[in-house]
Chains A and B, each alone.
Chain A
Amino acid sequence: MASDSTDKPGVGAGGAGAHTGRSLLGEQLVPRPYFALSVWRVSKNFPGTRALDNVSIDVTGGTIHCLLGANGSGKSSLIKILAGVYQADPGGTVTIGVDTIDADRTSPEWARSSGLHFVHQDLAIFNALSVAENLAIGRGFPVNPVTKAVRWRALRRHARAVLERFDVDVDPRRMVGDLRPAGRTMVAIARALQDQSDASEGVLVLDEPTVSLPAVEVDVLFGALKRYAAAGQTIVYVTHRLDEVTRIADRVTVLRDGRVAATLESGEITKDRLVELIVGRALDHSSASNATLQGEDLVLEVSDLSGGPLRGVSFGLRRGEVLGIAGLVGSGRTSILTTLFGLQPPSSGTVKLDGRVVSFASIDEAMDAGLGFVPEDRSESAFVTMSLRENLSAAEVSKYWRGGLLRERAEAADARQSIKDFSIKAISDRQPFATLSGGNQQKAIVARWLRRRPKLLLLDEPTQGVDVEARAEIYRLTREAIASGTSVIVVTADLEELARVSDRVVVLADGRITGEVRGPDIDPSQLTELVLSAAPDSHDSKLEASQT
């Protein structure tokens, strides 16, 4: 049964009065299933946005409950509330086992003491330490009471017992860095759960644990998770991969725009149904076209580009066009940009710029050919200890080298012009870059490239962590540059933004282009659908690909 979000609170309201009573009664009348974790009517507002709206979820003990949703659906806000990183707005409650707390009063201490254990995408393990040491860190080493020296044998004995319990077949003396990727995740899980006396005691929350795992490793991890659940462990599994949900979920809750779109039982889970719930409308399977652009005025032609995660990518870019690339993390969306910019050499394939085959051995060659690249992470583009002026001119310093002097006056004049053109809020062009707001820093970095009047500008998440106003500003400036002959490729996980700014979007999955959507009005939900359904159906295909 698919319970709709509107009747969900009703169920919860009934349970609200009997919330604590539920488990009391539950133990006497129905031993299982019990709810290991209940979230009831949790809302969370951030200034200007409603991240969670009356969310209620019940997680049955000893099951794997998936939490699924697109970017911005609220799943990470929910996890952060559970972990006590954020507090929800007053009104809702969170129950773990028999322990109920108001949702605006969660804290990391509460989460720990009531048995919520988190394993995040970044495992927070120490690769240079042994498995046994990793298990002991944060928990304490067994020490000799007098000398305070670590009792290594006791440490290993404890580690061996833990590893045996969690079915992890590794020597506790091995360095964690030497383990296979799934092994590392399992050590992190074992570390989180080692102090549970019984598997049915707590709740394990896994936050996108497979993002950086190859397919084979995912299989190993899933095998282990299923065994843990069978032994009574409750697992909340956060993901955006549909195939993973169909494979391991006993139940799945789909979040959309901060609300529970639906909760499905394992028998009801199909990929199409999940996509519909995430997107919020029925599917129309015929949407993607993959037309070729032959005979048009192409500034860039990429054929059969491979290397890194890319497996034979071909596309064309018209002059003055904004091409969006949509895809999940790990689809190779950033690699297209970095490969074009000469940051990593392709293993095969050709790139034609203005009809001529190019291959850049270094970044300055790509820049000379008229390319510009704004990386995803501002720590890879900002010179925070230098001035705004120096940041603006960083990609064209030699322009000011005339008659044996760096012409600072000309540089300053250009900087002031850019500050005006790009509406950068700054006191002067000599202001230290670090004292600018994030949005203004990003505007300056985009300006740095637009000043060069690039033939092709590559933007990777150009508006990440940037306020709304600056976001609009950045795209306005990009539009202006297009009028003067620049073409743009933009990558962002924010599909609404991508739909809005692109003339055309190609969908990338597993290093291949799987579809294309053209303007003028690209529908973001159609993009979401394409991105999600383009993900591999089973890991077998991925497995084959990674073995060849």
Chain B
Amino acid sequence: MTVVQTDKTGRGGEEEGNQPNEKSGMQSALLFNVERYALPGLLILVLVFFSVWSKTGHLFFSAADFQEVGFDYVYIGMLALASLLPLVCGEFDFSVGSNAGFTQIVVATAMARFHVPLPFAIMLAIAAGAFIGLGNGNTVARVGVNSLIVTLGTAGVLLGVVEWYTGSQSINNGISGSLINFGSENFIDIPDTVWLLFGVALVVYYVIQHTPYGRYLTSIGSNPRAARLVGLRVDRLKLSAFVLAGALAGLAGVLLVAKNGSATPEAGNVQDTLQALAAAYLGATSIRPGRFNVMGTMLAVYFIAFSVSGLAIAGVQSWISQVFSGAALFIAVVASTVIGRRRAGTG
């Protein structure tokens, strides 16, 4: 039996409303490149503007300020990397900030109270963070609860536990000197912590972009049912993304102690999570538009960082910085939704 070229009729009505044609494919390819470099362009614009503007120029471009900004945002950058993995597979982790708030207490307490050597204290913090991620991932992937609700709940519980354990007191003594030094030393004029962040960013980039695992997470984020039908263990993969997010949040907790020289109950909260998510969303509008990506996220972190720092030097009131971060999140989310819709051919 041969396949006949002509086909039976009677289905004509169903072929209406086809997908966009090739021409719109080319148009979107053009748009692609404009979108792709918008954020790096903005970052350069911010840097140029604040270094030229008379009110900020003298301070903004000094090495000291550069280092300060780089340093301040290492922690947010680490949280953004943590939140990136669940985002890639289509889930939210709202607990990364509170997770860091919890693990900073873990690392500080281990050293101050139980005299655990620094490397083990750090491992303990990362393990604690990963364990929290395991709880999140298990509830989301196996039980099937909405990740937003689960991780918001986790965030609340962690905040409460921190407050109960510390009695709202900071842990200042007994923190390893080398950790505090790490938090303040430079290597080729760039803080050690920034190097660490870039190192971790490189690893996360590699995992998302250059391993099958990253491709699997991306596929799940794109269409979980189709991912299942090409043989992916969707629940296990989602679970692992939350565990990794938790581990990175644990590392962010260690950075908090390194940065502050102490563990303070107020540090590490949902506010930080929001900043991290803002960066991830803003990052998804560039480099690989429509997809969460490491490079874009790092650019976004430092776009917000330098903007806020420039505004601070210019002497604007601190609430303006907050409005700026909030507005950036808002615009980023709207932009990535619009881009995503155009990608999906529905807009």
Contact = CB atoms under 8 A, between A and B. Distances in A.
Q: Do A and B come from one complex?
A: yes
B28 interface: yes
B230 A395 contact: yes
Contacts of A465: 14-15
A435 interface: yes
B4 interface: yes
A472 B10 contact: no
Interface stretch (A27-35, A160-168, A360-368, A507-515): A360-368
B36 interface: no
Nearest to B223: A383
B112 to A, nearest CB: 40
B3 A501 contact: yes
Contact of A468 (B6, B24, B216): B6
A315 interface: no
Contact of A437 (B21, B211, B214, B233): B21
A429 interface: no
A366 B231 CA distance: 8
A96 B5 CA distance: 43
Contact of A46 (B12, B25, B221, B225): B12
Contact of A406 (B14, B22, B211): B211
B342 to A, nearest CB: 9
Nearest to A448: B230
B19 A438 contact: yes
B167 interface: no
B113 interface: no
Contacts of B1: 500-503, 519-522
Interface in B226-241: 226-233
B187 to A, nearest CB: 27
Interface in A115-138: none
A292 interface: no
Contact of A384 (B28, B215, B223, B228): B223
Interface in A59-96: 71-74, 77, 80, 86
B160 interface: no
A435 B4 contact: no
A431 B27 CA distance: 11
Contacts of A383: 219, 222-223, 226-227
Contacts of A441: 19
A373 B229 CA distance: 8
A435 B233 contact: no
Contacts of B231: 362-364, 366-367, 395
Contacts of A467: 15
A74 B10 contact: yes
Contact of A471 (B7, B25, B230): B7
A385 B10 contact: no
A476 B3 contact: yes
Interface residues of A, number: 72
Contacts of A501: 1, 3
B135 interface: no
A51 interface: yes
A432 B28 contact: yes
Contacts of B221: 385
Counting contact residues on chain B (CB < 8 A from A), the size range is 35 or more
B13 interface: yes
Interface string A254-271: 000110000000000000
B29 A427 contact: yes
Nearest to A479: B3
B310 interface: no
Interface stretch (A182-190, A196-204, A240-248, A397-405): A397-405
B216 A384 contact: no
A541 interface: no
A153 B20 CA distance: 51
Contacts of B343: 384-385, 432, 434
B277 to A, nearest CB: 19
Given A385-B340, A501-B3, A48 B12 contact: yes
B9 A48 contact: yes
Given A397-B215, A467-B15, A384 B345 contact: yes
Contacts of A49: 9-12
A390 interface: yes
B215 A363 contact: no
Interface in A435-483: 435-438, 441, 448, 464-465, 467-468, 471-472, 475-476, 479
26 contacts: A48-B9, A49-B12, A73-B10, A77-B13, A258-B10, A367-B230, A373-B229, A381-B226, A382-B226, A383-B223, A384-B343, A385-B340, A390-B219, A394-B219, A394-B230, A397-B212, A398-B212, A405-B210, A434-B20, A434-B343, A435-B22, A448-B230, A475-B3, A476-B3, A497-B7, A501-B3
Given A381-B229, A382-B226, 9 more contacts: A49-B10, A50-B9, A51-B13, A375-B229, A379-B226, A386-B222, A427-B22, A438-B19, A471-B7
Interface of B: 1, 3-15, 18-22, 24-26, 28-29, 209-212, 214-216, 218-219, 221-223, 225-233, 290-291, 340, 343-346
Q: Closest 10 CB pairs between A and B?
A: A72-B10, A46-B12, A49-B9, A434-B345, A49-B12, A364-B231, A435-B25, A383-B222, A468-B7, A475-B3
